[in-house]
Chains A and B, each alone.
Chain A
Amino acid sequence: LAKTTQPISMDSYEGQEVNITCSHNNIATNDYITWYQQFPSQGPRFIIQGYKTKVTNEVASLFIPADRKSSTLSLPRVSLSDTAVYYCLVGDPINAGNNRKLIWGLGTSLAVNP
């Protein structure tokens, strides 16, 4: 199972773009990269998922280089409400029950300041 490494914490200011990088050197061929956001006392919330190159949705972008050994979650123009913990997960979404195989690390605690 691929292990991920992320910065423990990051600070930013309102209106800035925030990039959180995750390392996953042992990513397997069938593994996808998934990011979740978690606010205090709430369950995690899916943000974005990708396999290679770039994925964009209404919330964020995910950049994955060709070797797939890392990925970067990009949050454009953050606001105070983006203050949360962000988890990077690597796993195979094709097999049944894939989510049970995901290893959740400590995540990155993002603090957005006014």
Chain B
Amino acid sequence: DTGVSQDPRHKITKRGQNVTFRCDPISEHNRLYWYRQTLGQGPEFLTYFQNEAQLEKSRLLSDRFSAERPKGSFSTLEIQRTEQGDSAMYLCASSSDLNTEAFFGQGTRLTVV
């Protein structure tokens, strides 16, 4: 499978716990994006990487959120001290410099109880 893959697909956690999600983009794509989507809404941009550099973070990304892409390949999104309001689908997408089409993974659905 050469698409964008995300792990895990589902995560249930207790409030206050930390969680980490992983995204493996399409191998030749140097651009990687994280989005959050709640039920009935469109995706909201969280952060963007060009290779290993995190070039932009949305104001939605509070201090409890951190993302990395250490070698310019896979990326991780960590949420510390989770809150119920963090419950959402977290989507990862990648694209190349030559193609504006973004390819999305199937997402990680987080439920904070």
Contact = CB atoms under 8 A, between A and B. Distances in A.
Interface in B95-113: 95, 97, 100-107, 109
B interface SS class: strand
A46 B45 contact: no
Interface string A40-60: 011111100100000000000
Interface in B14-43: 31, 33, 35, 40-43
Question: What's the interface size class on B, roughly?
Answer: 20 to 34
Contacts, number: 62
A21 B95 CA distance: 26
B67 interface: no
A98 interface: yes
A interface SS class: loop
A98 B45 CA distance: 12
A106 interface: yes
Nearest to B41: A106
B48 interface: yes
Interface in A76-106: 87, 93, 96-102, 104-106
Question: What's the interface size class on A, roughly?
Answer: 20 to 34
Contacts of B4: 43
A105 B42 CA distance: 5
B50 interface: yes
B79 interface: no
B103 A100 contact: no
Contacts of B40: 106
Contacts of B55: 96-97
Contacts of A102: 45
B59 to A, nearest CB: 13
B105 A43 contact: yes
6 contacts: A44-B104, A46-B103, A97-B56, A104-B44, A105-B42, A107-B42
Interface of B: 4, 31, 33, 35, 40-45, 48, 50, 55-56, 89, 91-93, 95, 97, 100-107, 109
